[in-house]
Structure 1
């Protein structure tokens, strides 16, 4: 998938553990782990806003886009 979760980078920059962030925004450690590894299919804007408020960042700081040339030839859409 070309969208990459970079939450771990922001956590490192802010010297915060994922466990502490999860506790502050009301997520379980399991949910936080799934989010950090990009194993979720979606995330609520409310959750992104809470993460950004705690980490003092913008949503773009939590995500990156790495388009594979093969995906570009298909119009950027991944096949399921």
Structure 2
């Protein structure tokens, strides 16, 4: 089982930079970068909600389950 983070894909679709997303969400660029590169061990629902609001998407657009 693996969870893939498609944050970079959604950011590209919305033409939004990491800096802009960081400002809108109120999360540091370092923390967003860790999430984007799948190095984060978890994500708070409040952060996920803020990201979805900023990118106008659903959690499933950002997180994807892959069975290995």
TM-score under structure 2 normalisation?
0.93
State the partner residue of 2:65. Answer: 65
The secondary structure found in structure 1 opposite 2:4 is strand
- Give me the whole-angstrom Cα distance separating, in 2, the residues matched to 1:18 and 1:50: 14
Q: Which protein, 1 or 2, shows the higher relative CO under an 8 Å CA cutoff with sep ≥ 6?
A: 2
State the partner residue of 1:23. Answer: 23
Cα offset for 1:19? 1.4
Structure with more of its chain in strand, by fraction? 2
- Give me the whole-angstrom Cα distance separating, in 2, the residues matched to 1:50 and 1:9: 17
- 4+ runs deviating over 3 angstroms: none
| Unpaired stretches in structure 2, ≥5 consecutive residues | none
State the partner residue of 1:76. Answer: none
Number of aligned residues: 68
- Give me the whole-angstrom Cα distance separating, in 1, the residues matched to 2:23 and 2:54: 11
Cα offset for 1:24? 1.1
| Larger radius of gyration between Structure 1 and Structure 2 | 1
